[in-house]
Structure 1
């Protein structure tokens, strides 16, 4: 937890003035084969605000090849297509935006490259300070996490859900909760103030398939 922040542990409630929380899907690392069908099924199963394309260990040409059909699927359903880490790939694809980790570049640079309408998100871990810096740099949303244990990526930060209440009470910029979120544990993050739940494993690894997973989240997202 950020040392400079005051103690907001008692403040743990959703600001009723915020719009309802929405679902933000993150791709698995493997998006070849039948994954486009899985994505269609997920997006057709219930409201989804955004899909983040996240692959590792491939060059930009191959990433662009894998991303193109997924971007079309999202565009046909008016779901924002966000590229993880790589603002150059986001520019090449004409993506709706880019999500930047702390080592992936400056939001101001991304804005100049991608234009005024791009959605730029920034990972802020458990830090109020990083989140405020991201907002000042022009980020369209900030992401906090990992709130729960996750196999999707190695994590070193575990914020308290009260950071969501703190952020949404003071700032209009949306916040995303990420990390190990499932239909069983997501409600506390919605109640704390998350504007978006970013979900990966709970969708693509669901025993009954991604459509069932998206449907399971709908009750969680209700105000």
Structure 2
């Protein structure tokens, strides 16, 4: 399948979800993000059981309309069971070939890359987009890979014509530099969900400036 990446790719990490009224928060947040113009949203849960992941995913699927593409991090089988639109795998997760076999030809598959060798290898795989990072220092991973910087984004852009997502340490202040360096989209966690402000308010302001 072929698609165009939006400039903003929020990642909703389960570790940032409140323990109190978790379901209410999920439904509210997904609904408000869609109203703010978000059209691509990833759910990431590194610690939860399959049942816990599916409960969250079901809430998200019911809250979002077909205008929002929902991506499951790491779990192709759960992406299918949750009726998500795709899966995102890392270098140490299920292989792209296996993920593609599980989700089929009509769901999206994305892959993380952390250096130019991985970008070149991923370009030849049956993926719909590549993610490169961390672009800057990040606190969202316990053991992050080496920072690639804006030069890494530029180099990755030269190696692939596939849609390119930049991730890692991206803020409202530096996101537009990242897009200018060649990324089609910026994937963000803390920028939206680590703030006292409503995630939808930040997303709306960003999209108004980015224009896509």
TM class by shorter-chain length? Answer: 0.7 to 0.9
Match of 1:39 among 7, 15, 30: 30
Distance, in Å, in 1 between the alignment partners of 2:169 and 2:8 is 14
Offset, 1:163 = 2.8
Instruction: Note if contact 2:6-2:39 (Cα within 8 Å) is conserved in structure 1.
Output: no
Instruction: Note if contact 1:146-1:179 (Cα within 8 Å) is conserved in structure 2.
Output: yes
> Over the residues paired in the alignment, what is the CA RMSD in angstroms?
2.0
Unmatched 5+ residue regions in structure 2?
none
Counterpart for residue 149 of structure 1: 137
Match of 1:73 among 60, 63, 67: 63
Match of 2:179 among 184, 190, 195: 190
Distance, in Å, in 2 between the alignment partners of 1:101 and 1:220 is 30
| Corresponding position: 1:63 with 2:53 | yes
- TM-score (norm. length: structure 1): 0.83
Distance, in Å, in 1 between the alignment partners of 2:12 and 2:109 is 17
Instruction: Note if contact 2:135-2:152 (Cα within 8 Å) is conserved in structure 1.
Output: no
Match of 2:13 among 28, 37, 42: 28
Counterpart for residue 122 of structure 1: 111
SS at match of 2:62: helix
Task: For CA contacts below 8 A with separation 6 or more, give which structure has more relative contact order.
Answer: 1
Distance, in Å, in 1 between the alignment partners of 2:27 and 2:138 is 24
Larger deviation, residues 154-163 vs 59-68: 154-163
Offset, 1:95 = 1.5
Instruction: Note if contact 1:145-1:177 (Cα within 8 Å) is conserved in structure 2.
Output: yes
More helix by share: 2
Instruction: Note if contact 1:186-1:220 (Cα within 8 Å) is conserved in structure 2.
Output: no
- TM-score (norm. length: structure 2): 0.87
Count of residues paired in the alignment:
202
Distance, in Å, in 2 between the alignment partners of 1:197 and 1:151 is 16
Q: For residues 20 and 109 of structure 1, do their structure 2 counterparts lie closer, same or farther at Cα, with a shift above 3 Å needed?
A: closer
Unmatched 5+ residue regions in structure 1?
1-18
Distance, in Å, in 2 between the alignment partners of 1:220 and 1:157 is 30
SS at match of 1:161: helix
Offset, 1:160 = 2.2
| Corresponding position: 1:109 with 2:98 | yes
Distance, in Å, in 1 between the alignment partners of 2:33 and 2:83 is 22
